Amino acid sequence: MARAARLAEWLSVGILSFLCGAVVPALIAVYLMPSFGGDPVTLKKVDYVNLVGWNEDLHGETISALRKSCKVLVRKNPDETLGPNAIGGYVRDWIQPCLAVKKVDEQDHIEAKAFFELWFVPFLVSSKGRETGLFTGYYEPTLDGSYTHDHEFSIPLYAKPANLISINLGEFNTDLVGERIAGHIVDGKLKPFATRGEIEAGALEGRGLELLWVNDPIDAFFLHIQGSGRVVLRDGQSIRVGYDGQNGHSYKSIGMELVRRGALMRKDVTMQSIRNWLEANPKQRSDIFKTNESFIFFREQMGEGPIGAQNVALTPQRSLAVDLRHMPLGVPIWIDIEAPRLNEGDTEWRRLMVTQDTGGAIRGVVRGDVFWGAGAAAADIAGRMKHSGRYYLLLPLGVREDVRH
User: pTM higher than 0.75 for the full model?
Assistant: yes
Same domain, 246 and 319: no
Instruction: Answer yes or no: do 147 and 192 share one domain.
Output: yes
At 132 the pLDDT is 96
**Number of domains comprising the chain:** 2
Domain end call among 244, 270, 301 = 301
Residue that finishes a domain, picked among 239, 273, 301? 301
In this structure, the answer to whether residues 229 and 269 fall within a common structural domain is yes
Distance CA 354, CA 105 (A): 18
Contact call for residues 330 and 355 (beta carbons, < 8 A): yes
Domain boundary pick from 275, 301, 327 = 301
Residue 321 resides in a domain = yes
H-helix or E-strand spanning residue 114: helix 109-119
Has residue 306 been placed in a domain? Answer: no
The per-residue pLDDT for range 128-154, each reduced to its tens digit, is 999 999 999 999 999 999 999 999 999
CATH of the domain at 142: 2.40.240.50
One domain for residues 81 and 181: no
On whether residue 275 sits in a domain, the answer given is: yes
Q: Looking at residue 304, what is its pLDDT? A: 87
10 domain residue, yes or no: yes
> Is there a domain that residue 19 lies in?
yes
How far apart CA 371 and CA 353 sit, in angstroms, is 10
The range of the structural domain enclosing residue 397 comes to 2-136+312-402
284 and 352 within one domain:
no
So what's the pLDDT on residue 62? 98
HEC string of 263-301 equals: CCCHHHCCHHHHHHHHHHCHHHHHHHHHCCCCCEEEEEE
Are residues 219 and 334 both part of a single domain?
no
Cβ atoms < 10 Å from Cβ of 259: 16
Q: Which residues of the chain have pLDDT under 70?
A: 1-38, 339-347, 400-405
165 and 122 within one domain? no
Q: Which helix (H) or strand (E) holds 99?
A: helix 91-101
In a domain, 307, yes or no: no
Tell me what pLDDT residue 85 has: 86
Contact 360, 294 (CB under 8 A): yes
The rounded distance, in Å, linking the Cα atoms of 269 and 386 is: 9
pLDDT at 21: 38
How far apart are the C-alpha atoms of 63 and 318, rounded to whole Å? 9
User: Of 95, 136, 92, 70, which is closest to residue 323 (Cα–Cα)?
Assistant: 136
Q: Are residues 122 and 40 in the same domain?
A: yes
Q: Where are the alpha helices (DSSP H) in 181-246?
A: 196-198, 217-226
Contacts of 219 (CB under 8 A, 6+ apart): 141, 143
Distance of CA 136 to the CA centre of its chain: 11
> Does residue 342 sit in the same domain as residue 363?
yes
Asked if 314 contacts 374 with a C-beta cutoff of 8 angstroms, the reply is: no
CA distance linking residue 9 with residue 342, whole number of Å? 40
Q: Under DSSP, is residue 189 helix (H, G, I), strand (E, B) or coil?
A: strand
Can you give the CATH number for the domain in which 339 is found? 2.40.40.10
Please check whether residues 190 and 271 belong to one and the same domain.
yes
Sequence-distant contacts of 338-345: CB under 8 A, at least 24 apart: 338/387, 338/388, 338/389, 339/387, 340/135, 340/385, 340/387, 340/389, 342/381, 342/384, 342/385, 343/381
Clarify whether residues 282 and 397 are in a common domain: no
How much is the pLDDT for 22? 37
DSSP string covering 316-334: TTTEEE--TTT--SS-EEE
Indicate if 245 and 165 belong to the same structural domain. yes
